[in-house]
Homo-oligomer: A and B are copies of this chain.
Amino acid sequence: MVNDKRISDAVIKRLPRYYRYLCDLLDSGVTRISSGELSRRMGVTASQIRQDLNNFGCFGQQGYGYNVELLSNEIRKILGMVRTYNLIIIGAGNLGQALCNYQNFAKRGYIFTAMFDINPDLIGTTINGVKVYDIADLRKYLQENEVDIAALALPRSNSRPIVQILDEEGIKGIWNFSHVDLKVSPDVVVENVHLTDSLMTLSYRLNNQVGE
């Protein structure tokens, strides 16, 4: 697999969805699928599917289609899911707990190793087997443990000093649920989940009846 060209963000954003559909197919015992049938299920054009997958050298065979297992393995490799990732969650409130309790993440290799909070009632407890540490111990924890990704599930007003510690301690991935765009070093990857933005997009489409 040669992966030396820049893949567009739009394609990257679509890959997890392909992966989800392929895993569902595997779970239902489907071993091969044509781009036409995958297109019908996913609601995208067959030519889009062929074009997207060609980016990664995944070519379907004429008259056979795609081998579901091979293709899902290939996408898993592309997505970097052939290893596990250690995640910490900053903020052990409802959202942090929701993330920690979500079964699907561990299945995909995302392992929550610690949570951090400012609330003395939460510090020292465990949530789904994950210990909640005092946020004051964040830097020390990062110096002593391998952490790949930090999920920010805390109010935006508290996020700036935390992000600075993460950045200084060399965290390379931030999954940002706080309602603010982060300022970080250029080599830090930030994936934003801005819930209010998403709700506003929904109400815009509701008012303008732009269905999917």
Contact = CB atoms under 8 A, between A and B. Distances in A.
Interface in A1-58: 3, 6-7, 9, 12-13, 15-17, 19-20, 42-43
A80 B203 contact: yes
A145 interface: no
Copies of this protein in the assembly total: 2
A165 interface: no
Interface stretch (A59-67, A97-105, A118-126, A134-142): A97-105
Interface in A194-212: 194-212
A21 to B, nearest CB: 8
Interface residues of A, number: 63
B189 A78 contact: no
Given A200-B19, A204-B15, A207-B80, A189 B173 contact: no
Interface string A71-85: 000000011110001
B16 A108 contact: no
